[in-house]
Structure 1
Amino acid sequence: MTDAARPSLRADAARNRDAIVAAARTVFAEHGLGASLDEIARRAGVGNATLYRRFPSREELVQAALLPSMTDYLAAVDEGLADPDPWAGFRDYLLRLFQLQARDRGLADLLVTTVRTPSGELEELRSRAFELTKQLIRRAQDADELRPDFRHQDLPLLLMANAGLVERTQKGAPDSWRRVAAFLLDGLQTRAATPAPPAPTERSVLRVMAANRLSSRHAEQRDS
């Protein structure tokens, strides 16, 4: 191979990677993280072998496609903490997450699923957002606005519930989550609180998220 040919091959590889990531972002948003990798390859205009060569595992493709969305998730926490009104900061943060889930089924899945990759970037962002969310919750509770029995491990449960709602109403009533969120937020305020059953432990919630973890083997990813 000549030296002149090498830059062309590198450029082709970069274009293929960019096309795969763009297609994955769209397909995951439409169908969730379990979407067909064959469909992603088709929309990217590449062969399956090219996709698998660039992204040996589904997790690595998910990370490349959804890292910007996880950055939006982290930004939502920062914006909530920056709000001088503790309740408004918490309320708008939760609504923002629900809205992100409604727009992007891939992100809706990602927020309640453990995704392990060699670099660990997605889980690092999730951990940072989770720690900041604890501050957001404590601040609203200290202001006597958020019910005192709400725990940080309750948040993934709310996101799981909203993800299910979004999935089932997406085609016929895509804005239904807004009405349910309004009811939910009323129930989260201190003035409306009534005794609730105990919260699940953080470990049990993490086990649920881990149980949803994506399979990393391409043999399990292809359509039957």
Structure 2
Amino acid sequence: MTPAAASNDAPGRTPDTGLRADAERNRDRVLAAARHLYATEGLGVSMASVAREAGVGKATLSRRFATREELINAVFADRMDAYANAVTEALADPDPWHGFTGYITAVCAMQAADRGFADVLTMTFPAAKALEKRRADAYNAFTDLITRARATGYLREDFDDRDMPILLMANAGVINATGNAAPDTWRRLVAHMLRSFATPDAPLPPLPSAPAPAALYRAMVRITRPRPS
């Protein structure tokens, strides 16, 4: 038996990563805790809160993820893949305008499903190389989608690729503000924005209803309450 084989077969180690089984479980707990906290509270959650939620010490967390960017990169890798794949699917749509509007709606829905991801799409993380590469891939494909949508005559000529991050920032703000009080409010915002991007004769789905007055009031009250530390 070679030394490498002996190492891989050693008790308490996983053959694919070489990490001890308990260390691998700790990593999985940290990722699960971070996903939950980021999804429900956004990226403002501290590393200490993640460690506490995972039931591990700060030293254990730092051994697995030395920086916040490393943790964010690991947590959102699959979502960034889905984000990049969404524009690929939109480009494959035989109707470029439908592909464009469908992509806008799909990405904003991804934000609504995960508050942490809503923040990720409006921020940059230079140290998270894999995450930023997928963002760049999606951006480059989106510029192609714009060109195709413009050629239909339904997308305004003055639409700019920089309008997309503006929309994502606005959508993230609505999602964070309304929370569970008026969770579908983002749909109306996106529908209004699509109307602002479109030429007068562009086909668009019906405008979703505005939130009920009571729901909007609850959202406004929610904004005024201090967040727990």
> Normalization by structure 1: what TM-score?
0.80
Q: Name the structure 2 match of 1:33.
A: 43
Which region of structure 1 is more displaced relative to structure 2, 7-16 or 23-32? Answer: 7-16
Counterpart residue type for residue 140 of structure 2: E
Comparing both chains, which one has the higher relative contact order based on Cα–Cα distances under 8 Å and sequence gaps of 6 or more? 1
Q: Name the structure 2 match of 1:50.
A: 60
Does structure 2 conserve the Cα–Cα contact (< 8 Å) formed by 1:147 and 1:189? yes
Between the aligned partners of 1:56 and 1:7, the Cα distance in structure 2 is 22
Give how far 1:6 is off.
5.9
Give how far 1:13 is off.
1.0
Aligned length, in residue pairs: 193
Listed one character per residue, the Cα deviations across residues 5-54 of structure 1 (whole Å, up to 9, x for unaligned) are: 66387111111111111111111111111212222112212111100111
Counterpart residue type for residue 190 of structure 1: T
Q: Which of 168, 171, 177 pairs up with 2:186?
A: 177
Does structure 1 conserve the Cα–Cα contact (< 8 Å) formed by 2:12 and 2:22? no
Instruction: Say what the alpha-carbon RMSD is for the aligned residues.
Output: 2.1
Which region of structure 1 is more displaced relative to structure 2, 164-173 or 35-44? Answer: 35-44
Does structure 1 conserve the Cα–Cα contact (< 8 Å) formed by 2:167 and 2:193? no
Q: Which of structure 1's runs of 4+ aligned residues deviate more than 4 A?
A: 3-6
Which region of structure 1 is more displaced relative to structure 2, 177-186 or 56-65? Answer: 177-186
Q: Percent identity?
A: 48
Q: Secondary structure at the match of 2:85?
A: helix
Counterpart residue type for residue 143 of structure 2: K
Between the aligned partners of 1:186 and 1:192, the Cα distance in structure 2 is 10
Between the aligned partners of 2:172 and 2:85, the Cα distance in structure 1 is 20
Does structure 1 conserve the Cα–Cα contact (< 8 Å) formed by 2:91 and 2:99? yes
Aligned 1:96-135 pairs, distance under 5 A: 96-117=106-127, 120-135=129-144
Between the aligned partners of 2:201 and 2:26, the Cα distance in structure 1 is 54
Q: Secondary structure at the match of 2:200?
A: helix
Q: Secondary structure at the match of 1:171?
A: coil
Listed one character per residue, the Cα deviations across residues 154-189 of structure 1 (whole Å, up to 9, x for unaligned) are: 110110011001111112101001112112212211
Structure 1 runs not aligned, ≥5 long: 194-222
Counterpart residue type for residue 77 of structure 1: V
Aligned 1:1-224 pairs, distance under 5 A: 4=10, 7=13, 10-117=20-127, 120-191=129-200
Does structure 2 conserve the Cα–Cα contact (< 8 Å) formed by 1:186 and 1:192? no
Counterpart residue type for residue 88 of structure 1: H
Which region of structure 1 is more displaced relative to structure 2, 102-111 or 39-48? Answer: 39-48
Counterpart residue type for residue 150 of structure 1: F
Listed one character per residue, the Cα deviations across residues 43-93 of structure 1 (whole Å, up to 9, x for unaligned) are: 212111100111110000000001111011011101111111111100010
Give how far 1:192 is off.
6.7
Structure 2 runs not aligned, ≥5 long: 1-6, 203-227
Does structure 1 conserve the Cα–Cα contact (< 8 Å) formed by 2:108 and 2:168? yes
> Normalization by structure 2: what TM-score?
0.79
Q: Secondary structure at the match of 1:26?
A: helix
Does structure 1 conserve the Cα–Cα contact (< 8 Å) formed by 2:154 and 2:201? no
Q: Secondary structure at the match of 2:195?
A: helix
Between the aligned partners of 1:58 and 1:116, the Cα distance in structure 2 is 12
